[in-house]
Amino acid sequence: MKDFTVRPEIEDFAPYVPGMTIEQIQELYGLNSVIKLASNENPLGTSPIVQKVICQNAARAFRYPENHTPRLAATIARSEGVPEECVLVGNGSDEIIDMLFRMKGIPGKSNVIFYENAFAMYRMCAKLAGLEYREVKRDAEYALPLAAMAEAADENTCMVIVTSPDNPTGLAATVDDLATLSGVLPADCLLVVDEAYIDFAWPPESYTPVQAFDQFENIVALRTFSKAYGLAGLRVGYGILPHKLAALVKNARIPFTVNLLAEEAAIAALEDEVFYNETLSLVMRGREYFTDELTKLGCKVWPSQSNFVMFQPPKDPAEIFEELLKKGIIIRPLKSFGLPQCMRVNVGTDTENATFIKTLGEVLNG
Ligand SMILES: *Cc1c(COP(=O)(O)O)cnc(C)c1O
């Protein structure tokens, strides 16, 4: 067989490794039921109202969607109080991240700053776009190193990325912290705030800069329907970008990346306040329960503003992961985030949470 070459930076790519699906685990371990608390998905599933809307629109699947998803963009703009022109809807917020890297950075010249133990997409996109990336160190508690990020920026820095609330630590930056960072960045540098978990930060007004979007000239906020809205499988997210930047990115993007059913579902999800509020109360209750119970089991637990908690167990996480899997529970070991001593578990239903805690107790003390 003939070997074809690709761009040199692609040759040594480490692939993104997602967690196993429930079906894969069932087959591998011969299990009837599996509790999945590994991917920060919505414990309530997909809203019944949204499911109905997807079915009602199924027959329209032969049509192209409207380019740039304008009805959803308008709905988001109304609910967030930002100009419609600033909203860019994507195939998951991952697509917006990818577009920003490719369109803002100049290959071989620009650099991007994020911190260590961050979401793998940033490093992946930087490599793919041919941009230098700088991973700023964190302290022993993994606090978000915003001041050090400002120091690491120079005139070639095109983006500084903060995940808030952070994945996997659950820590969040306050609006004041973000305002300070935004104010000291070089002139042409964006402060990208990945707000995939912002719905779970409490109280929201202390954390999201979107409420004062017109006061920040250089901020891009990234949001998703994958977590609080329970639509991870439909792939829909969005960015709120400075006016002119949003227009330039729209001109250059690939058309029709957000499908017609995803647009209908996301509009319905935004309007379904009952499901959203139930999700929030379940998550807030669950993360408090996890924090208390994991502490009782001798784990160190980080305070979470998200729908998961990070903890350091008193035993090797790789072993715990295997033992839990055999008993039909999957959580996330954090070796791939550069945190081999830690694990992440997302909030499930109350019953799933209790089963996880009981089973972990058996694994640790058995
Ligand atoms: C889940 C997640 C996203 C959202 O990804 P989608 O592409 O919208 O599903 C973005 N950033 C972080 C840090 C995440 O954990």
Are residue 85 and residue 223 in the same domain, yes or no? yes
What is the pLDDT at residue 145? Answer: 98
Number of domains in the chain: 2
> How much distance in Å is there from the Cα of 361 to the middle of ligand 1?
30
Residue nearest to ligand 1 atom 11, measured at CA: 196
Are residue 293 and residue 306 in the same domain, yes or no? yes
HEC sequence for 10-79: HHCCCCCCCCCCHHHHHHHHCCCCCEECCCCCCCCCCCHHHHHHHHHCHHHHHCCCCCCCHHHHHHHHHH
Residue 181 pLDDT more than 80? yes
Are residue 217 and residue 294 in the same domain, yes or no? no
Residue 193 counted as domain residue: yes
Mutate to test the pocket of ligand 1, among 226, 229, 258 (most ligand atoms within 8 A of CB): 226
What are 344-362's pLDDT values in tens digits? 999 999 999 999 999 999 9
- Predicted TM-score of the model (pTM): 0.96
* CATH code of residue 298: 3.90.1150.10
- Output the ligand 1 site: residues, CB below 6 A: 40, 92-94, 119, 163, 167, 194, 196, 224, 226-227, 232, 237
> How much distance in Å is there from the Cα of 298 to the middle of ligand 1?
30
Are residue 66 and residue 31 in the same domain, yes or no? no
What are 225-251's pLDDT values in tens digits? 999 999 999 999 999 999 999 999 999
Q: Which residue segment(s) compose the domain that 41 sits in?
A: 8-46+274-365
Q: pLDDT averaged over the chain?
A: 96
What is the pLDDT at residue 15? Answer: 80
> How much distance in Å is there from the Cα of 2 to the middle of ligand 1?
37
Residue nearest to ligand 1 atom 2, measured at CA: 196
> How much distance in Å is there from the Cα of 107 to the middle of ligand 1?
24
What's the CA gap between 1 and 356, in Å, rounded? 49
What's the CA gap between 334 and 240, in Å, rounded? 30
Measured from the Cα of 194, ligand 1's closest atom is 11
* CATH code of residue 202: 3.40.640.10
Summarize the confidence of residues 129-157 as an average pLDDT. 97
Summarize the confidence of residues 147-173 as an average pLDDT. 98
What are 41-66's pLDDT values in tens digits? 999 999 999 999 999 999 999 999 99
Percent of the chain residues topping a pLDDT of 90: 91
Are residue 152 and residue 226 in the same domain, yes or no? yes
Are residue 37 and residue 160 in the same domain, yes or no? no
Are residue 133 and residue 216 in the same domain, yes or no? yes
Are residue 282 and residue 267 in the same domain, yes or no? no
Confidence of residue 8 (pLDDT cuts 50, 70, 90): confident
Are residue 206 and residue 285 in the same domain, yes or no? no
SS3 108: coil
> How much distance in Å is there from the Cα of 196 to the middle of ligand 1?
5
Are residue 218 and residue 292 in the same domain, yes or no? no
Mutate to test the pocket of ligand 1, among 69, 93, 236, 306 (most ligand atoms within 8 A of CB): 93
